[in-house]
Each structure stands twice: as C-alpha cells, then as structure tokens.
Copies of this chain bind each other. A is one copy, B any other.
Amino acid sequence: MATNRKQSDRRPPYRRSKQRERILALLRSTDAHPTANWLFEKLKREFPNLSIGTIYRNIGILVQQGLIGRIAFGSTFDRLDANVTEHYHFICERCDAIIDLDLPVEPGLELRIPTSEGFEVHRHAVEFYGLCPKCAKRA
C-alpha cells in the first residue's frame, strides 16, 4: 500500500523567504480554504516570475512547521467501499489501512449544526486517525 506523504520531507533549518511569508499571510487573511492554484494566481501579481513549484514547496514547509493544515483525505488515490451502509472509518497513519468501524452512527451530531443559519445537512462522516492494532503492536 502506498504512502500518504507528499513531496520529499524537508526539514529545518528554514530560511525566510518573501514568497513564503506572503503565502502564509494570504492564508491567514481568509477562511475560504484556498487551493494551491488560488495562491498562485493571487501571488503572481506580486511575483511575476512566481512558479507553482514554489507554492507547493512552501505549503509543504508551512505544514511541517504546523503553521497551516492541509485538508485532504490523506491519500492521493480513491479507495472504494462496497459497504454502502453508514459507518465510520479508522485510518491507520502508518500502513494506510482503512478499517470499517461498527460504532453506532451519531445522527445527533448533525443536530448541532445551527440550521437557524441556513445550513441544510444531508450526512456526515467521521474518520479516526491513529495506529491500527497491527501497527500499534509494532510500536
């Protein structure tokens, strides 16, 4: 099974760069959860020669520094599930296994969403991350 990790893991020390500072500032200026490409479009006005690779490299660094988070399922490829009943998943951070849990689904969670604000909730998903029994044993 493949790994989750994207991009070669960079590590400290980090030097500052104008590009990275602007990327972080831009991300902090919005709560719209932008994409890499959105950052690229915005910033190439300031940095006419900006490269999309620079965006990705800096996103990687900022994530490692814990300054931003990446919202993604964790894997680059889709995983399929013939179990179409509602259920939650456990995702092993070491071996990437996805395990169906037979926890009771909590419809009550959806009631927490303020419908007064106009949200219309159709369903929800819960994923637990950690080590599966096999991997936990080896740690």
Contacts and interface: CB of A to CB of B under 8 A. Distances in A.
A113 B103 contact: yes
Contacts of A89: 71
B71 A81 contact: yes
Q: For the complex formed by this chain, how many copies does it contain in all?
A: 2
B137 A130 contact: no
Nearest to A24: B82
B130 A100 contact: no
A120 B130 contact: yes
A132 B103 contact: no
Contacts of A99: 31
A136 B119 contact: yes
A121 B110 contact: no
Given A73-B72, A77-B37, A113-B103, A126 B124 contact: yes
Contact of A83 (B69, B78, B97, B130): B69
Given A109-B126, A119-B133, A28 B77 contact: no
9 contacts: A27-B80, A27-B81, A34-B80, A35-B80, A70-B78, A70-B81, A72-B73, A103-B112, A120-B131
Interface of A: 24, 27-28, 30-37, 39, 59, 66-73, 77-84, 89-90, 93, 97-101, 103, 106, 109-110, 112-113, 117-134, 136-137, 139
